[in-house]
Structure 1
Amino acid sequence: MEECYDVTIIGGGPTGMFAAFYCGLHQLKAQLIEALPQLGGQPAALYPEKRVWDVAGKAGVTGQELVDDLIAQLAVAPVDQFLGEKVTNVIKEVDGTFTIQSKQRTSSSKAVVIAMGNGAFSPRQLALAGSKELEGRQVRYFVNHKKDFKDQRVAVLGGGDAAIDMALMLEDVAKQVYLVHRRNEFRALPLTVEQLEESTVEKLTPFLPKDLVVNADQSVTLNLKKMRTDEERPLEVDKVLVNYGFTSNNAALKEWSLDLASERGQIKVDATMQTSVPGVYAIGDGATYEGKVDLIATGFGEAPTAITNLAKELYPKKKMATHSSSMKINQQ
């Protein structure tokens, strides 16, 4: 058993990374554990080149740029990092500490911060015959690099903010972008829809994909059916980009030896971000309370709330600076 950490943060997405940074600012002995082999969570894995607009002080930042900035911030007040390590159990011991178990090792911690978002995530699949075999080639679910779509004809399937964002993001590199949605109305912010109307993206509504065929030149003919009619339309493209949303779950939490109060699959927390188990805190999309808005910006506010309050619980006699201007930061 290693030396007992003050704090263990489980989850290396943006919220978990910012919480780890605050542990460093408070000079807490902390470890950050992430199941994926890299930090960044969904922004890095799902939309590295998509711009995020709800981060204060950033007039549009890509998912990867945001993660890079957070990594640089972590370097200012570093904590121990363990990547590619999935937590298999968290056990509360009789002395109030926690045992953190993974396949690689076992560690001990005085407090735990759960920053796992909504857990494991996967895209909702395109339910067309043959589409599974085309994944990663003609059929894509993510835009890891815009250059992969350069000078190509791209059909984006979906009608929400993320689908429109993808279509607009590819507008300046693709030969032509089509947005296929089963309704005439889009489930997106008014500003996003306005940008779509002013773009060169061709809207195909209300259409639903019926089937797809791979042509001899490796292009794809996507056959579309107009809703509530017999009208059909073939659409020849090079790539089909599917954005029907994502499914996620925190099934791993059910395997832990913690009896956490939850609501609709999210962990209930109080004003300090503490769960129903003393010493365990939850932040980010996986935590819920009255009035919660699921944004990265919200998680960035929850992180210092949790870390500052748990630090006061751990060291009630120690003077804790709240503002970064009052803390000892090693500036390069």
Structure 2
Amino acid sequence: MPQHLETDVAIVGAGPTGLFAVFELGMLKLSSVLIDALAEVGGQCTALYPEKPIYDIPAHPAIEAGALITRLEEQIAPFATPRLLGRQVNGLSGQAGDFMLTTDQDDTIKAKAVVVAAGAGAFGPNRPPLDDLPAYEATGAVQYYVRRREDFRNKRVVIAGGGDSAVDWALALKDIARVSVVHRRPKFRAAPESAAQLDEAARRGEIEMVIPYQLHALQGSDGVLSAVVVATLDGETRALPADSLLPFFGLSMDLGPIAAWGMQQAMHHVTIDPATCQTSIPGIFAIGDVAAYPGKLKLILQGFSEAAVAAHAIFPIVHPGEALHFEYSTSKGVPG
């Protein structure tokens, strides 16, 4: 059923940065509404890698992505923020202090400011150009993310790619599965420490490194995989026995209707003023991976910082002429 809501701030995107924006706004006694195209909060942390450990969240030496989302939900629970999930924002009109957003489910949201926390928009995996790929995707023999590590116990797993996801999952699965890593060159794009751990695991025989090769074909029948065929640039091929293939070639991003709002963009990202996180349209702010500015780091913790910056910049839009007497949370506590 369509909902018709009025709030101080509409947050488009319910990933970790969007969730933390609820908290930062709530601490300034600003109300908000969360809107996301996915059916649950958490963005990529929930949809793509809930069991993947994250190591650079302050005070957590390691925390799984799904657990991080759970903690963020606990943190914003006092604010009872409405959630419009499984909906895509398809319309925006108005100006700072008086925006109207509409969704593909005919919801309407009246807001004084808008925060775009949409990651890099709608996302999907970059698929390898292999024959009969859909049949193996349908059975789960080919997957583009790991939701449950245990699903791969005692399996022969081929991981393709040279970025953080490929290296991280090779390290995470090596103790429960037979793992082969396929990459077209010896150098990996992953974090240096992770790449060093991969090299050490390969040296100990815990992971098979298949270099320099790239994916060539799939062998099996009726969606049941038996081998992954890889090839060198010279055409030399070999078959790797496999039950599962995990191709990690990144995600294709699409800002969708947000791209038509008229905000200044750079390389499919939204340009902001880092001092306020405001876009080229007054009253519309962008935080997290979708935001672009000189020196930007695509880290969850930087998105958290941007959420705080944006919240303080939004306060005078919601309460024009009213001074903000900011207090630290240690003395202020969480508003009831």
TM-score (norm 1): 0.92
Asked if the contact 1:12/1:116 (under 8 Å) is kept, the reply is yes
1:268 and 2:305 correspond: no
- Cα shift readout 1:143-193 (whole Å, capped 9, x = no counterpart): 01011101111000111111010111111221x101011112212222111
8 Å Cα contact 1:21/1:78 also seen in 2: no
- The alignment covers a number of residue pairs equal to 326
Q: Which residue of 2 aligns with 1:145?
A: 148
Contact 2:136 2:223 in 1 (8 A): no
Name the structure 2 match of 1:307: 311
Aligned partners of 2:283 and 2:199: how far apart in 1? 50
1:64-103 aligned within 5 A: 64-93=66-95, 96-102=97-103, 103=105
Q: CA deviation at 1:28?
A: 1.2
Work out whether 1:232 is the aligned partner of 2:221: no
Q: Do 1:49 and 1:145's aligned partners in 2 also have CA atoms closer than 8 Å?
A: yes
2:36 aligned to 24, 34, 37, which one? Answer: 34
Aligned counterpart in structure 2 of residue 54 of structure 1, from 44, 53, 56: 56
- Report SS of the residue matched to 2:196: helix
Contact 2:135 2:223 in 1 (8 A): no
Unpaired segments of 5 or more residues in structure 1?
none
Does 2:327 match 1:325?
A: no
Name 2:229's counterpart in structure 1: 223
CA shift, 1:215, in A, is 5.7
- The one-letter amino acid of 1:100's match is L
- Superposition deviation, residue 217 in structure 1: 11
Contact 2:97 2:111 in 1 (8 A): no
Say whether 1:193 aligns with 2:195. Answer: yes
Could you report, residue by residue, the CA deviation over 1:215-239 in whole angstroms, capped at 9, with x for unpaired residues? 69944221222233x4321111111
Question: Which stretch of structure 1 is more off in the superposition, 285-294 or 309-318?
Answer: 309-318
Poorly superposed stretches of 4+, deviation over 3 Å: 1-4, 215-219
| C-alpha RMSD over aligned residues | 2.0
Residues 17 and 70, structure 1, Cα contact 8 Å, conserved in 2: yes
Asked if 1:21 is matched to 2:23, the reply is yes
The aligned counterpart of 2:161 is: 158
CA shift for structure 1 position 139: 1.0
Tell me whether 1:277 sits opposite 2:278 in the alignment: no
SS of 1:221's equivalent in the other structure is strand
* Residue 298 in structure 1 maps to residue 302 in structure 2: yes
Structure-to-structure mapping, 1:113-152, within 5 angstroms:
113-135=115-137, 136-152=139-155
* Contact 1:90 1:99 survives alignment (8 Å): yes
User: Cα offset for 1:3?
Assistant: 6.1
| Sequence identity percentage | 35
